Structure formats: C-alpha cells, structure tokens
Structure 1
Amino acid sequence: MTYRFTQALLTSALILGIAGCGSSSTPDADIDAAQQPPEASAAEQAKPPISKFKAYTQRFGGETLLTQSHATGHVGDWFFTHWKDGGEASFKLDPQGNFKIDWIGGDYNYVGGPGWERGDRNRVIGYHLNEDSGASYVTLYGWGYNKDMDPTDPAHLVEYYVVQRGVRTPGQGGEEGVSFTSNGVEYTTIRTVRREKPSINNTATFYQYWSKPKEQLPLGQDHKIIFADHVAAWERNGWKLPDMDNFDASDDPTYQVFAVEVFMVEKGGTVSGRVWDAGP
C-alpha cells in the first residue's frame, strides 16, 4: 500500500534540511544557498507561479542528496518527491535527470523520484535504468483530481501506475480490463479501489489505475513510456482519469513522476538511472 505525506509534514521537512552533494559548506549554509533559487527556465517562467504549496518552490541548482523523511521541490528543472514513513532511504538527483535511490531493509514505505509538478496525458517519458536490486515498483506514477465531482465517488480522485519493473504483483485483487501494446510493450489494465486512505487530498476513497507489463522492462536500455496510450486504454474500460494539471487538492498538486516505491521487500537495494522528456 502507499501512504501520502501532508503539507504540515512537508513544511517540517524544510527544517530538516537538504544537503547538496560535493559541497564543502555546512548543512546550514546549504539550506541558505538553496533558498537563493537559480533563474527559472523559459518554460518555467511561462507557467503560473506556485503559491499554494510553498514547499514546491524550493530549488537546487546542482546535484542534491535527500536523506530526511520528507522533501519535495526542484533540482534544476526537475521536480522531485521524496517520502518515507521510517527506515533509511536516500535519493540523489542532478539537473540532467540522473538519479540514484538507495534503501536499507524494506519494512517501511518509501516513494521518490524525478518528474513534473503537473501531470500531462500527452507526456512521453524516456528513461534508462542502470540497476534495480529489488524495488517493489519502478513506475510512472501520479494523480488526477476533480474537485467538482462527488467526493464519495472514487472516480473523483485517481492514483495511477504505469509499472516498468517490480518484485510485487501490481493491482492485486483488482478488476482487470483491456490488454494493449504501447511502444512494443504488452500491458494489462487493472483498477483497484482504496477506501478512506491517505491521498493528495487528505483521507479519501479513490481509484488506482494500473498498467502492468507482461514482462519486466530490461536494464541497460533506453525505454519510452507513451502516457497517452495508457490513458486511452483505461478509458476503453470506462475508467476516466480526472484533471492532472491542477493545484486544487488539499495536500499536493497532481504531480507526475518516474518513481521508485519500496515496501514489504526482504532486503535493501538500489535503483539508478536517468529520466528525460522524450516528447516532441
């Protein structure tokens, strides 16, 4: 299962600090430097400013190592999430999208990865994995939310997974939908429901949509996730994905990240690689 952090925890996480790799300065100096953000790119300047979720505005210009329990923000133009409910896990990210996630043991829940603070059904994600020593899921991950729908209808809030690798079976006990092929990979769609569980909008009842590959995607190769194919397949089942580009939820925007999730695994491990925007 997946747990979510609250905005209060995000705020407290800022106090814990984020240390930039390769720096000889003290942790406090790193925090002060991080609060002086680099100039935003033209693409970032074109977007409305983030005002609701203050933690998302912190920016780091160079390779950054996250070791605390909760953190979010940007390294260069890459948005990131980093969350755990215990144990020891770290996340390193640089402005080129190179990342490395290490965890010790697995009797806790960890979710983290690089991506975007706003989801996009037409996004094409490129990635290359150097190593994966046993994550629960390596997956494109995100949320859709419609504040105008009935909150008792699970369809108003959706947590989605486009799984690429993993040691756990995705969508166990769920409703199986259509199978389809995207970019040469065969997937099966699955829908599960979470009742009164933590989410980006406090505690809620919501759907999870899954795309499960027939076989794990291999390491050491470039891969592409064409997200529109997955949205279309879910919709062929009648499973609509709510708006993925909003800041309406109480705790987080509808972000979209290439995530590593770890829970109920037997031992520690590492996932490393690179992510890039493969769209036109």
Structure 2
Amino acid sequence: MRFEGKVAVVTGAGSGIGRATALRLASEGALVVVNDLRAQAAEETVRLIGGGEAVAGDVLEPGFVDRLLDGTVERHGRLDVLHNNVGFGGRASFTEVDDATWARGIDGNLGATFRGIRAALRIMGPRGGGVVVNTASMAGVAKVAGVTPYYGTAKAAVIHLTKEAAVEGGPSGVRVNAVVPGSVSTPAFASYLGEAGLARYAAQLPLPRLADPADIAAAVAFLASDDAAAITGVALPVDSGLAALLAQPDA
C-alpha cells in the first residue's frame, strides 16, 4: 500500500496504459482522479477501480489541465502523483502531414505534457513534494518506420522535458521521471499486426514477449513511489530489451 492516503491524477486513463496505471495506483491505496477525453471510458475505469473520480476533458483545451489539477486539490485536499499519459500518433509520411496536423500532434504529445508538469510544479512545489511520471516512447529514441514524424519528435522532446523539469523541481522536492514503452500488447496493436505478426514481432525481441499495459503501469508505480525516492530525471525503458538490440541486415 505504497500510496495509501495519497491522491493521483492519470490522464488518458480510459484505456491502455492509463487505465492500467489507474488500476495499479488504486490497488496500492491511492485515490485516483481518472481523466479521459471520453466520459464513458473514464467512468468505466472508475467502476473497475471501485472508487475514485472520473473527470472527462481534453488536455489540448486551453486551461483544462490547470483546472483538472486545481480541482483535484480543491475536492481532495492534495495532489501527490501526476501521470501525464495522453498521446496519439498514426501512420503517415512527411509529405502527408500538413501544418495543422503537425501542430496538433506536437501539442497533444508534448504541449499537454508540458502543461501538466507546469501545473504540477506550481501545486506540488509549495507543498514540499510530489511526483510526475510522463509517458514517452521508444519512437522518441529512434525512428519507427511508417509512424508519423510528429509522434517520435514529440516523444523525444518529452524525454528531454522530463530532465528539464527534474532539475527545476528537485529543490522543491518534486521528482519527475518518464517511462519509455516499446511496443505494448494492446487491441489496437494486435489489430494492426494480426496474431501471426505479433508472434513474429515478439520473437525478434531479446526478451521474446511484448510488454503488457500492466508492465508499464508497474514501472510508473515504482517511479511514483518512495521506493524511487532518489530517482529523478530518468527515462526508463519498458521494452523487452528492444533498446539493447542493434538491428542487423539479414545475411
């Protein structure tokens, strides 16, 4: 019960990694404020938890993130953990991405994370501490063929933004880290590759299994807990060893 008596906010918690993180933090005692763009999805996560609060809304909307975190403190008295998890991508080449799509992709994957960190530092700093965990991606470490260029670019910036915030927040007792998922076993990924494709993909990994959303959630919970009290500014891969592997051409 590492989070007993603590309050956490998880964005994009209506499915996937966000939902898994909300469930994990709640299972260890946290009161979780579940944010998602889709009200029904946020409410379903709260139902699965058996408590907490659902707050629907778009982190791209000006002022929403500030209202989300300020409202959490007003209703629950504190904010101990923020998981900035919202992100989205797609498949497109450079020449297929227009200016509006580029701007929205950078803002959704980077701008929303920046606004979350900024609001958390404003709230947590004067209270003497707290933890922010950001969701980055292996797409921010190297190019993933076919994936729209705004996604990896923004996720690379999230990794650096994590370091910026860790240095600035440290003197106030605020820790800031990131998880860096590789390919995660989700319905969307299964639909994209198919069962045979999933098996071939997993077989190429040093640890021949895809990560599950619960694996990412476990890493988030560790980084958010006092077990990681001396860890800040870290981008932790959860990728079945993908980052350790240098691809080689077939002989």
TM-score by length of 1: 0.27
> Which of the two has greater helix per residue?
2
Task: Specify which structure has the bigger relative contact order, considering alpha-carbon pairs within 8 angstroms and separated by 6 or more residues.
Answer: 1
> Which of the two has greater strand per residue?
1
